[in-house]
A and B are shown apart, each in its own frame.
Chain A
Amino acid sequence: MQNDHELIKKYQNGDLSAYDKLVKGHLSNTIGFFFNITGNRMAAEDLAQDVFFKLYRHLKKFRFESSFSTYLYRVNLNTANSWLKRNKWKNILHLDQAPEKSERDTELENEWTRKELWDAVAKLPNKQRIVVIMRVAEEMPYKDIAEVTGMKEGTAKVNFHHAVRSLKEWLNDD
């Protein structure tokens, strides 16, 4: 089994099958990450397509300064962030539409739905939003969040704490 950096090197040398192997290796995690945010498999696959499409273009300039996983987390994070912001505007512009129930929302009928949670997350300040995405969607420890985002571990904890307090207030959770 070849590691990510070897596959990237091969891809940079023109071997497209190496890129396919790389995608296959990280596809499940990437779709899982987006599935936790969107709650919709199709939307998660579309976002994963966006991520790997971006990687197809930018991986040729990959400088091997960090692990591919960290790089991929960053791309995932940016894509999720953009999606949440885009959705926030959609919600503002389509106020008359009833919120769509996602595949897992039926489990939580009497509580706030996944959509409500992520709509609330979209309203958070950028740093807090990033930490929440990584904690909730990826179950990342603070140490890894700090590595991916470049912030200190303590800062990540504080941001998450503030985010949780805001979310609790907005979702009227007693």
Chain B
Amino acid sequence: MIDFEKKILSYHSDSPNDTNADDFLKRLHNRVSESKDNRRTIITSLCMLMVVSFMTFTQFGAPTNQTDYFYNEDVETFLETDFWTINSDSLDHDESYTYEVAYFLLQEGYLWDTVELLDELKIEEEIAL
């Protein structure tokens, strides 16, 4: 056991003295500068990734105004013969139209024409009843 221990300990050897310290330092500094470059690249990449992720998440630069769709919900007025209009009375629509025309004639100063139109409307209502 003791012999074996001595044998192991005798494995120690003197360090090689032919190492060029300047070459060693040169390689070390190269490695350090490479590491710094790599670190800089990684940090820049991470920053870019964060900015892109942030912009994607917040939809930065995307137009905020939503597209407006113009359509008429009141299809009954256009498609009076369709099955949607079965339950509605077309007279209601005619009545409002006639009143609007009457107001227009009044504003324009056609007083007698207005009276005549209203009479006509009254007669039509009586006929319908």
B62 in the interface (beta carbon within 8 A): no
The interface residues of chain A lying within 8 Å CB-to-CB of B14 are: 32
Interface size on B, residues (CB 8 A): 22
Q: Which residue of B lies closest to A108 (CB)?
A: B11
What separation, in Å, do the CA atoms of A106 and B120 have in the docked complex? 129
A117–B21 CB distance below 8 A: no
Q: A117-B8, A139-B9, A164-B1 are in contact. Are A53 and B21 (CB under 8 A)?
A: no
Q: Is the interface of A mostly helix, strand, loop or mixed?
A: helix
Interface size on A, residues (CB 8 A): 34
Q: Which residue of A lies closest to B31 (CB)?
A: A53
Scan A134-174; emit 1 where CB is below 8 A from any B CB, else 0. Answer: 01111100000000000000000000000011011000010
Q: Which of B5, B8, B17 has the most CB of A within 10 A?
A: B8
B63 in the interface (beta carbon within 8 A): no
Partner of A36, one of B4, B11, B24, B27: B11
The interface residues of chain A lying within 8 Å CB-to-CB of B13 are: 32, 35-36, 104
A28–B17 CB distance below 8 A: yes
The interface residues of chain B lying within 8 Å CB-to-CB of A136 are: 8-9, 11-12
Binding site for A on B (CB under 8 A): 1, 4-5, 7-9, 11-17, 19, 21, 24-25, 27-28, 31-32, 35
Binding site for B on A (CB under 8 A): 20, 23-24, 27-29, 31-33, 35-36, 41, 44-45, 48-49, 52-53, 56, 104, 111, 114, 117, 132, 135-139, 164-165, 167-168, 173
